[in-house]
Amino acid sequence: MSSLSEFHLLSVLAQEMNMRKASERLFVSQPALSQRLQSIEKDWAAKLFIRSQKGLTLTPQGEEIIRFVNGVLKEEEKVRESIRSMESGVSGTLKIAVATIVGQHWLPKVLKKYIERYPQAKISLVTGWSSEILKSLYDQQVHIGIIRGTPEWKGKKIHLFEDRLFLVDREISSMEEVVKTDRPFIQFKSDSNYYQEIQDWWHRQFTFPPKRTVVVDQIETCKQMAINGIGYAILPEITLNGEETEIYKLPLLDQDGRPIKRDTWLLGYESAFELKQVRAFTELVSQYSHEGR
């Protein structure tokens, strides 16, 4: 049976698919790496990689073994984290997946406090759409996720905050003017539930679709286009820091005349909250949310 160090070697080879790059990452010479790979292949009684001038290619046997190797390494990391969490102080790596909008506008201040308070802790952060965050949680690639909307989640779920939605424009000062304007409606790509929420509001408010539409891939691009007078946009309050000047911000209302709000949640499996670095972050986030954003 191969050792964990050999599992790590195989994992690096499968990531790089190149002997030179893998040897540089592993701090060994290429001949030494080649010799160790031959020994491992002999141990498994199978050819794992095919070499060519373009690099390495995994054999079917290699693909199967790499899946096993990565699974073992992931479990090893969990065990090491659990051991570290038993020691005094907060250390280890905090793995977070966060909705992009939260990562851009809310999380940095929280992480700054976390790093200052727990200098021994490390942070691994990925951002994406809320649907991608949920997938990362289900696949146990991260400890906790912070998402937008109302999630279906059977694990631990903590409500962080809610923020209103606004129609933002330099010229439109009332909803009635939307009917008359030829200005484009600037939209950003988002999760389907957020898109549907906007569509439902629009159909309740108006009897026609926008005359002109511009679709961008990032919410920050959408915001900057609206602020610079290119058209109007619907933006969550979290993106509006109050420094925008000469901009009309019209709150979106539901059928009962109440502001439409977007929720933000922290999610995770119960086992993740047993880790000290996760508990420390959760406590800090809860404190920060109650104090106000």
What domains can be seen in the chain, in order of their start residue? 4-86 (1.10.10.10), 93-162+263-291 (3.40.190.10), 163-260 (3.40.190.290)
Higher-confidence residue: 288 or 230? 230
Q: Output the pLDDT for position 129.
A: 86
Q: Is the pLDDT of residue 242 over 80?
A: no
Instruction: State both tokens at 41.
Output: 């292949």
d(CA 111, CA 106): 9
Instruction: State both tokens at 212.
Output: 């002109």
pLDDT average, residue stretch 45-52? 93
How large a percentage of the chain has pLDDT more than 90? 63
d(CA 231, CA 182): 9
> Tell me: the pLDDT tens digits for 138-150?
998 999 999 998 8
How large a percentage of the chain has pLDDT more than 70? 96
Q: Output the pLDDT for position 86.
A: 61
Q: What is Dmax (Cα atoms) for the chain?
A: 76
> Tell me: the pLDDT tens digits for 171-220?
999 999 998 899 999 998 887 678 888 889 999 998 888 989 999 988 88
pLDDT average, residue stretch 13-26? 94
Q: Is the pLDDT of residue 241 over 90?
A: no
Lowest mean pLDDT segment, chosen from 74-83, 91-100, 106-115, 283-292? 283-292
Q: Output the pLDDT for position 77.
A: 86
Q: Output the pLDDT for position 82.
A: 72
Higher-confidence residue: 34 or 82? 34
Q: Output the pLDDT for position 38.
A: 94
Average pLDDT for the chain:
89
> Tell me: the pLDDT tens digits for 245-268?
789 999 999 999 999 999 999 999
d(CA 264, CA 267): 10
Q: Is the pLDDT of residue 1 over 50?
A: no
Q: Output the pLDDT for position 207.
A: 83
Q: Is the pLDDT of residue 166 over 90?
A: yes
Contact between 239 and 262 (Cβ < 8 Å)? no
Q: Residue with structure tokens 């606004």?
A: 166
